[in-house]
Amino acid sequence: MRASILSRVGAELGEGPLWRSETAEVLWVDVLRGEVHALDLGGNDRLVATLGEPVGAIALDNDGRVLAATPRGLTDLDGRLVASIPLEAEDLRMNDGKPDPFGRFVGGTMTLDQPREGAGSLWSLDGSGSTRLVSGVTISNGLAWNAIGTELYWIDTPTGRVDVFDYDAATGSAVNRRTFVEIPADAGSPDGMCIDSEGGLWVALWGGGAVRRYEAGELTAIVDVPTPLVTCPTFAGDRLDMLVVTTASVDFEAPPRGGGDIYAAEIGVSGTEPHRLGEWAT
């Protein structure tokens, strides 16, 4: 399978695509520019907000309002802090993150500039505060949960793996970390991730120009993307049967053609509605 261009948005570091059914748009972020965008499936993109600080991810509350993962924690688009995290160092920011099936926000930290090994953590945020789930993280990236919320899949990019944890609905704890799949080094580095209705994980490959699907630890499909720095996939459309993929151009002095644009592919399987934040975030 091969993805085709959806919109030539020219992002520096496009990330975090998220389908919002109320407006039939894919929300996404340009991380280092601190921008939140909305893109319809006709390819029309609009700037929603510029926050003036890096935005690693976005999430929706139950009303469809957008919240952003910033270096300070989770904020609204006016910069009001909703939930903070105790940063271990001044040069950290939030990277990828998502609501869990029970309304918490789970997201990781990394350094602002060149990644520093083990500097970040994976955090869980809710109305009662913040909880560190994993320490010693370098580039916290893709997250997904199984259909019943008992397993958390997660990526720390330099490990070259997707790991899986036992996940507790009541407490949000993540324990019994183990390898779900190892990505071959020549395929690229695992970045963002989403899960389909059949339990297949779709993993973006930074430097690999592709999104790969894994089920039960086995490679089952590949979607080629015509630019190397593939960052994150999501499911979009009324039936959630279109895979929309963000990309980046940030690592190149002369960006490759198509770097930073957004692509789409029909893949023959549907996704699931993105989870939303609980009432604590409103």
pLDDT by residue (tens digit) across 203-216?
A: 999 999 999 999 99
Name the pLDDT band for 32 (thresholds 50, 70, 90): very high
**Tokens coding 26:** 């894919």
Name the pLDDT band for 253 (thresholds 50, 70, 90): low
Asked whether the beta carbons of 270 and 250 are under 8 A apart, the reply is: no
State pLDDT tens for residues 39-56.
Answer: 999 999 999 999 999 999
- Backbone φ and ψ for 281, nearest 5 degrees, come out as -90, -5
Domains in the chain and their CATH numbers?
A: 4-281 (2.120.10.30)
Helix (H) and strand (E) counts in the chain? 0, 24
Instruction: DSSP letter for 273, please.
Output: P
Does the active-site annotation cover 191? Answer: yes
Residue 104 pLDDT > 70, yes or no?
yes
The helix or strand, by DSSP H or E, that contains position 7, with its residue range, turns out to be strand 4-7
For the chain, how many residues are written? Answer: 282
Sheet architecture: strand order including 120-126: 92-99, 105-111, 120-126, 129-137
Taking residues 146-152, report their average pLDDT.
Answer: 97
Q: How far apart are CA 10 and CA 52, in angstroms?
A: 19
The rounded mean pLDDT for the chain is 95
Strand partners of residue 68:
58, 75
Annotated active-site residue in 45, 191, 196, 261? 191
